[in-house]
C-alpha cells in the first residue's frame, strides 16, 4: 500500500482519496477506521443535570440495576445509552470490555493481578477493584502480551 500526503492551502479540511482497482477487505477496513475517527459525545446525568463526559476522564462504565453508569473522578453518572452503544462511541485503543457488564479505561488502570485462578483482578486509579470475567481473560492476556 502506498501513502501519499499533499499539502495544499486551498483545502479547508483534510480530504482522503483512495485509488484502487477493486474494493477489498483492506479498503473497507481503511474506510471504516477513517470514518470512526470522529469522537462521539457521551453525556451523563448526575443531580438532575446532564454533563458531557470526556473520554479521558472516564474510569469505568458498567451496567447494574437495569441502568448504565459511568464513573469519573467527579463522581458517578447515569447514562441513557446501553452498554454496547457506549462501547461503540469509545476509543477502542483506550477502552476494553472486561465482562458483559463492564468496560474500563486502560489509561486509568493501576495494575492487573493475575494471581487469581481463572480470572484477573484489576485495580483502577480511583481505588476500585474489579474483575475480568473468564470469557474475557484471554483477550486481556493477549492485550498484555502474556
Name the stretches of the chain with pLDDT < 70: 36-39
pLDDT score, position 104: 98
pLDDT score, position 36: 66
pLDDT score, position 42: 94
42-144: which CATH number, 3.30.2310.20, 2.40.50.1020, 3.40.50.1820, 3.40.50.2030? 2.40.50.1020
pLDDT score, position 39: 56
Q: Any idea where the domains of the chain sit in the sequence? A: 42-144
116 class by beta-carbon count within 10 Å (0-12 exposed, 13-18 middle, 19+ buried) = exposed
Tell me the residue length of the chain.
Answer: 146
pLDDT score, position 14: 82
The H or E element spanning position 46 is strand 42-46
SS3 category, 131: strand
Amino acid at each position: 500500500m502506498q501513502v501519499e500526503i499533499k499539502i495544499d492551502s486551498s483545502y479547508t479540511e483534510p480530504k482522503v482519496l483512495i485509488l484502487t482497482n477493486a474494493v477489498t477487505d483492506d479498503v473497507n477496513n481503511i474506510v471504516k477506521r477513517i470514518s470512526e475517527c470522529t469522537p462521539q459525545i457521551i453525556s451523563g446525568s448526575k443531580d438532575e443535570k446532564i454533563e458531557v463526559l470526556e473520554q479521558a476522564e472516564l474510569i469505568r462504565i458498567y451496567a447494574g440495576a437495569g441502568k448504565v453508569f459511568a464513573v469519573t473522578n467527579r463522581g458517578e453518572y447515569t447514562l441513557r445509552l446501553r452498554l454496547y452503544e457506549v462501547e461503540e462511541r469509545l476509543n477502542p485503543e483506550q477502552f476494553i470490555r472486561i465482562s458483559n457488564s463492564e468496560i474500563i479505561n486502560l489509561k486509568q488502570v493501576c495494575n492487573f493481578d493475575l494471581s487469581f485462578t481463572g480470572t484477573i483482578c484489576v485495580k483502577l486509579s480511583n481505588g476500585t477493584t474489579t474483575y475480568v470475567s473468564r470469557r474475557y481473560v484471554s483477550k486481556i492476556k493477549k492485550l498484555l502480551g502474556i
